[in-house]
Structure 1
Amino acid sequence: MNRITATYDIESPVGVARAAQVLAGEQSTGTFTRLAAETDALRERSAARIENIQITGTSATPSLPCRKTGDSYERGTVTISWSLENFGTSLPTLLSTLAGNLFELAELSAVRLIDMHLPGAFALDHPGPQFGAQGTRDFLGGHKGPVIGTIIKPSVGLNPSETAALVQTLVDAGIDFIKDDELQANGPHCPFDKRVAKVSRVLKAHADKTGKQVMYAFNITDEIDQMWRNLDLLEKHGGTCAMVCMNSVGLTGLRAVRERSSMTIHGHRAGWGIYSRSPDVGISFPVMQKLWRLAGADHLHVNGLANKFTEEDSVIAQSAKSVQTPVCDTGPAHIAMPVYSSGQTIWQIDPARCLLGNDDFIFCAGGGIMSHPAGAGAGVIALRQAAEAARRGIDIQEFASQHSELKAALKTFSRPDIRVGHS
């Protein structure tokens, strides 16, 4: 197959069929009027095609502000395809085509990109994750089970020495993975180079003493040339993970990091709500995560079950599973590692694992570790015990009867209302 297909949920005052025609024209050969150079042969070769239309309803008012009006606003899903020859396998051009000017069309009172299928050429032409789950485990010294992680908090305000002191507490507690907050990159109060030096010293001393490798995702987000310098510095300090805020640096920035990185790339989706929060405009995570994986992210944040944000559990389930699904029908699968975070405790590990059917995920908990009544060490142990109960298929409360850390955590953290993933 040499065509790219995209499915949109659209609403229109001129009818879904007409709006689909306008969308297809705007995003390929057409403009507001037929041009002399737009021959039938050219249109046959390069025009986007409408592959399917399904009407789903109508409303009396538009979902979004819209210059064009109608007696009613018809809604439906439309699938449109483009020839691979229109733009090759360029990810920026792909995004400009599938999610470009169409969002501004006056014929659309709602438009959301909900699905995308790519030819195998994309999987062959892009590097994809360099390490993924197995590489992450190798960096961690062959770690088994889900990766238990946490985030440096306060988000900002700690200086390099204070950050390193907190890291010392966390590694002493037995943590597997620590990440910078997305707000902490290279600020004057905590310069990147000094933070890397002091934190790396703690990680190395801990590894020398205990034999346990702890992965730290340093936030390298910056201009491309500075991100490259950050990577060089991390490599000198034996770094194993670089964190990138993907929406901030774009696909080109992420790819540039992938081309220069000797370590795992932790993809943070800060700003994702801009694209995902409204049901009437935006891009779905299953679409965007394919582009991030092709560009080289090893880890991808998917939010967390019963989280503190707006996404429902069904959305998190779809997002987490999509990261472990092949990018294309043919070619390298480019599987990445989902990262659960946001209000996570011992209660969410079992359903999080059930969604995937494996342990190839990172489970980040902040308060779920630090707020354990017996301290951070007991918090990490409790999460491991919850993961072991999940792996063995034992009810968490039954398992807790023989494990004091887990028992205390169950009493400390309220059981959330999780709508999917129960074992």
Structure 2
Amino acid sequence: MGSSMSSCCGAEKVDRSFVSGAANSSWRMFTYKELHAATHGFSENNKLGEGGFGSVYWGKTADGLQIAVKKLKAMNSKAEMEFAVEVEVLARVRHKNLLGLRGYCAGAEHRLIVYDYMPNLSLLSHLHGHLKSEGRLDWKTRMNIILGSAEGLVYLHHEVTPHIIHRDIKASNVLLDSDFEPLVADFGFAKLIPEGVSHMTTRVKGTLGYLAPEYAMWGKVSESCDVYSFGILLLELVSGRKPIEKLPGGVKRTITEWAEPLISKARFRELVDPRLLGDFDEAQLRRVIEAAILCVQGEPERRPDMREVVAIIQGSDSRVAAKREGMRIESIRYGEDLMAMDQNSDDDVDAHDHDHDVDDDNMAGGKFGNDSSVYGVFGKMDVQKMHDPYAGYGGRRNMLHG
């Protein structure tokens, strides 16, 4: 990290070469004083969420910009690395469906990342969290989220140089702006792939339920791992079910295990979230399911790339048309050692080779209690206890509660 970063909260000077490609970036350096004032001293009233990384606060800058500030609580090597990776990646990406970097501050005692505030929080909040009863995810909105998220991954995998593997595609890392446009977020686990490299072997970082089998078991990571995770996200968006759900008696079932018998019999309508009340486009549903089936194939070479996924969903790729009858999903169950670690569908895994260790700070039984999950960059907002962060700024925008 070096001394070039430690000046931003002190002398307010910084060597922008900390981040590659900074010259053409729209992000800027923030001083700790600025962020302290914007968040009312990192007030509990402004807190949006808390996780193993630290806390996220809503803020408003002196020029009226609404921001979310991720304040890292740890100053250890692991936190430093994730901070550096996220800032490096965020400074590179420029796409309407990726949450870019607004700025950061790094001083002797502080590490803070600044994003634009997303008033509709995360997809997870609407599928499984405290906003699910509002019913704002109609079929059209879900399709827009699917295609927008996919386009963001196309950019990461095929358009930016070097290519970027996200490594943690999940519902809590798809944020929603005021118009429910999706932005893929949280690049702390991302990998930059040098030109000509097809895959890497690395320490496993990600979320159980979304992990591709070759990555979960052997640490082999490639763009195809993100494709697998996206396939799980497709099933989750269509069905409204969690990637891993706990059945009576404590038995755990993955979403692919649940979907496999329905898909094998082409009973696609029974896959659809009951909250949609039957209001969906059957042709679009079939294409989304076809894409999901291909994305979650066990062998990475059998999965499409994200450009092909977009084409399938849009109906412009006919390569699966001849195979529509009898299409099957591959239901791959994680090993018992990994399944035993899961306490709900959104636990983070920190594993290496066959020694699967869970990052305790991110376990559901830790910071968030036994019946909740890690809600992504902006955390879980408790609406009942949340003080109005817009108070005093001309009234609250009607975005959080519909």
Is the shorter-chain TM-score for this pair beyond 0.5, marking a shared fold? Answer: no
TM-score under structure 2 length normalisation: 0.25
Which of the two has greater helix per residue? 1
Higher-RCO chain (CA-CA 8 Å, sequence separation at least 6) = 2
TM-score under structure 1 length normalisation: 0.24
Larger-gyration structure (1/2): 1
